[in-house]
A and B are shown apart, each in its own frame.
Chain A
Amino acid sequence: MTRTLLPGLLAMAVLGTPAAANEVNIYTYRESKLVQPLFEAFTRETGIKVNSISASSGLEQRIKTEGANSPADVLLTADISRLEDAVQSGITQPINSAAVDATVPAQYRDPEGHWAAVALRARVVYAAKERVKQSAITYEELADPKWKGKICIRSGQHMYNNALFAAMIARHGEARTEEWLRGLKANLAQKPSGGDRETARDIAAGKCDIGIGNTYYWALMNDVEADRKPWAEATKVILPTFEKGGTHVNLSGVALMRNSPNKANAARFIEWMVSATAQQMHADLTYEYPTRAGVPLHKTIAAYGTINGDTTPLSQIAANRKKAAALVDKVGFDN
């Protein structure tokens, strides 16, 4: 049995090894189905074939261990933490692209040029249409006792919340953030669980009045997912801000790998991702905020109101995420 198996394995191994061709290899934390239309459009425009693998964690470790033989050209992520991890594990190199620097605002780029945001998503408040009258809110207010037993949220260790709490630390320091987290925890209607869609569902079901979620989830429920339409219809999106600040945003980002075997194609892919075509696709297909100026938002996203993004650089937010994780443990947020 093994005798017939081995040649098969070897054949697969050989076939699986990327040959030097006109292609680019993308390791992605964004699910492949979601980014597939972007890859296909890139191939149509440039003739460069896109090979990809998606995973939920560990791609930096894989690329790092693969070392000099790594086929990875580009890493795509759905948040800032994985990008910073990639930079810190030494697997990236500066993108060095005038096009990227000219298109992506500085606060959404690595100061050393190792990563750039291709799209943004905001962490906002979903509120019960019937029960919540106010149309503006601050993140700080979420700890106000008036919301006692009325807030739903997913795990405090989820990367989206982790980044929001890190942004709070960047703005107010650890001590005040700890106090805020304790207040928020005291206001929760139930133990953190589920995802952002479940938060909308729980509000619709009357379990809580407000919750925290990303901008695109609500839009997807409202526009695309017919059976979740009632969850969106029972809720509204409020763009919260920090006191005297803006709305917390996270990124979908891209980094160039240090041992990239198809570096020219990789650079082309990264520049294409911030081109007008790709940026419009981000706005329309993934319901994100484009990082390129002048690209119109999807109408559902635009209907949330004009967003005023928090000006704290993402790199500074990323620097505080360990502290944010520690505070979540300390206040027993998920317990």
Chain B
Amino acid sequence: MMTRTAPALRHPLARTLLGGVAALVAAPVISLALIAIGGDAALWPHLAAYVIPPAALDTLLLLAGVAVVCMLAGIGTAWIVTTYEFPCRRLVLWLLPLPLAFPTYIVAYVYADLLGGLGPVQSGLRALFGWRSAADYWFPNIRSLGGAVLIMGAVLYPYVYLAARAMFETQSVALIESARGLGATPWRIARDIALPMARPAIAAGVALALLEAVNDVGASEYLGIQTLTLAIFTTWLNRSSLPGAAQIACLLLLAVCLLLALERGGRARKRFTGLDARPGARHRAVLPHRQAWLALAACVVPILFGFVVPLIHLAHEVIGRGLRIGFDPSLARHALTTVWLASCATVLVVLLGFAAALAQRRIADATARVCFFIAGLGYALPGTVLALGLLSPLIAIDEAINAVTHAFGATPPGLVLAGSSAAIICAYVIRFLSISTGFAQAGLARIATELDDAARIAGARATAVTRSIHLPLLQPALWAAALLVFVDCLKELPATLLLRPLNLETLSTYIYQFAARGNFEEGAMAALLIVLVGLAPVIVIIRQLEGAAPRPAIGSCELSPAVAR
């Protein structure tokens, strides 16, 4: 034990960092709360009678459905690719995270096109069975709650997949091997060892997927789902009550906090530590022929619906239109802008998030836990609401800067933060910080604090402990978080739309200007560019997760000798 000093004086650097990060995320929340308090409750009888009940019901059903789909697809595929060797496994590893690169609303348009009354699927059925019109037969309506669950699940499962895989990949091989030696079936190993140990990470992944689903506006509106987030928008824009909208947003935020706290409480007493010291070096069971194909099929289904089908549809649109209207040369510039903004934000998010998680681990008191919790709240706000909340603090800082420069006799620079890309990067950092804090915390949770103590007793400095113990063990989580943040930044729309400086266009705002007019196909090229740009980090990160061990050529789909035998 170190010498006892007053709590505030211990770890001053870690405390400043945690406090600063929490303040950054709290700023838009506080400004939102101020807007909410500034209004009255006159609208609430109406909201409570007609708006909230159906919206809450739709939201709950949507979230429950998306959670089930994401967990089935995400955990299932993560378990299969970490435990088994099967044909095309390398290719599958590449493809599994990719649905993430599609904005949800674009995928919603794609499926409405494909499965709609005049789409290829129903036309094919009509031709096959000789039906004349949609009135002659029953076909499930994709613009429905069920449709929304499947579409969002297909696009959002990678959050769970990446979180679960980063954990499975670093789980103690010894533990699993002993269980197998004792005769446990793979199912029991998954249920009793791997899943409980990965639970914090899976919870973080599911939370991200669900917050993404609940904060979606484009797809929900298009598919006719009445979510609470849509209620925020209609209250703001049609019921002309920004305070009322802020009040709903604050309540939604409270509900999210409560759920997150409950989940954390639920596993507070269960601590699982135990790591594979050599991530990526674990042995994968080679599956016999038939089972190998089953494993492949299980991984291909989510890839097919979340990635391949939308990709082919968009590519088809690009080719069809490209020949007619040509390629917009400004897209290259927008792609560069997008990558630049996303890169800045990703570096900041990963640095701040992991530093905050390490700081919280060192301080480990109630204040630190609250600060850390606050740091993860940015994702719980719809992007537009976050952007609205961020405007006031940013402009307040700008005005202070202007006042100071004016006092020194210089020309005030105007809106330095709010009028530049800094506003967008700031919004990205606040919004996506919970990805890195969540992944870092889940990763750290499995490193026994006794390990830190032992190293410290042996005379290692705190920084050395972090460098030689935490960071190597956290690497898979770190890379997975970086990938998620980067791709999320690439496709972020609502905050970018509202906060961007004059004349700035990103790929997602470029797509949106067509989608807003109901003509998303014109933006298909930009949607493909997002996927293409997202592919680069996927490749880098898969390499990192797989370790440096020699592997068959990437994308190789040949049966390995062991399987072909």
Residue of A nearest to B222 (CB): A194
A206 touches B134 (CB 8 A): yes
B420 touches A16 (CB 8 A): yes
| A178 within 8 A of partner (CB) | no
Question: A159 vs B234: C-alpha distance in the bound complex, in angstroms?
Answer: 9
Q: How many whole Å from B38's CB to the nearest CB in chain A?
A: 13
Residue of B nearest to A197 (CB): B518
B238 touches A53 (CB 8 A): no
**Contact residues of A between 192 and 239, Cβ < 8 Å to B:** 192-198, 201-202, 204-207, 217, 220, 225-227, 230-231
A2, A157, A159 pick with most chain B CB within 10 angstroms: A157
| B399 within 8 A of partner (CB) | yes
A57 touches B224 (CB 8 A): no
Q: A205-B116, A206-B117 are in contact. Are A12 and B502 (CB under 8 A)?
A: no
Partner of B421 from A12, A31, A227 at Cβ < 8 Å: A12
Residue of A nearest to B324 (CB): A226
Partner of B503 from A9, A52, A58, A330 at Cβ < 8 Å: A52
| B405 within 8 A of partner (CB) | no
Question: A198 vs B143: C-alpha distance in the bound complex, in angstroms?
Answer: 11
Question: A94 vs B518: C-alpha distance in the bound complex, in angstroms?
Answer: 34
In the complex, which residues of chain B have a beta carbon less than 8 angstroms from the beta carbon of A56? Answer: 494, 497, 512, 516
| A102 within 8 A of partner (CB) | no
B134 touches A17 (CB 8 A): no
Question: A16 vs B395: C-alpha distance in the bound complex, in angstroms?
Answer: 15
Q: A51-B502, A53-B503, A205-B133 are in contact. Are A13 and B421 (CB under 8 A)?
A: yes
Q: How many whole Å from B326's CB to the nearest CB in chain A?
A: 14
Main secondary structure of the interface of B (DSSP, over half): helix
Q: How many A-B residue pairs have CB under 8 A?
A: 198
| A21 within 8 A of partner (CB) | no
Contact with A along B391-421 (1 / 0, CB 8 A): 1100100110010000000001111111111
Main secondary structure of the interface of A (DSSP, over half): helix
A13 touches B420 (CB 8 A): yes
| B239 within 8 A of partner (CB) | yes
B116 touches A201 (CB 8 A): yes
- Size of the A side of the interface (Cβ < 8 Å), in residues, is 72
| A111 within 8 A of partner (CB) | no
Question: A63 vs B415: C-alpha distance in the bound complex, in angstroms?
Answer: 12
Contact with A along B492-520 (1 / 0, CB 8 A): 00100111111111000100111011110
Question: A58 vs B414: C-alpha distance in the bound complex, in angstroms?
Answer: 21
A155 touches B221 (CB 8 A): yes
| B122 within 8 A of partner (CB) | yes
A51 touches B503 (CB 8 A): yes
Q: How many whole Å from A38's CB to the nearest CB in chain B?
A: 14
Question: A196 vs B222: C-alpha distance in the bound complex, in angstroms?
Answer: 11
What would 20 A/B residue contacts be, using CB atoms closer than 8 Å? A13-B422, A16-B419, A17-B420, A31-B512, A32-B513, A53-B501, A54-B497, A59-B498, A65-B395, A67-B399, A69-B415, A69-B419, A162-B238, A198-B116, A198-B143, A202-B116, A205-B118, A329-B46, A332-B54, A335-B54
Other than the given A17-B413, A159-B237, 15 more pairs (CB < 8 A) read A9-B421, A12-B420, A17-B415, A56-B512, A59-B498, A159-B238, A190-B141, A190-B143, A193-B223, A197-B519, A198-B518, A205-B117, A207-B135, A230-B118, A324-B238
**Closest CB pairs A-B (n = 10):** A205-B117, A193-B224, A206-B133, A325-B238, A31-B513, A13-B420, A329-B50, A16-B420, A51-B502, A206-B134
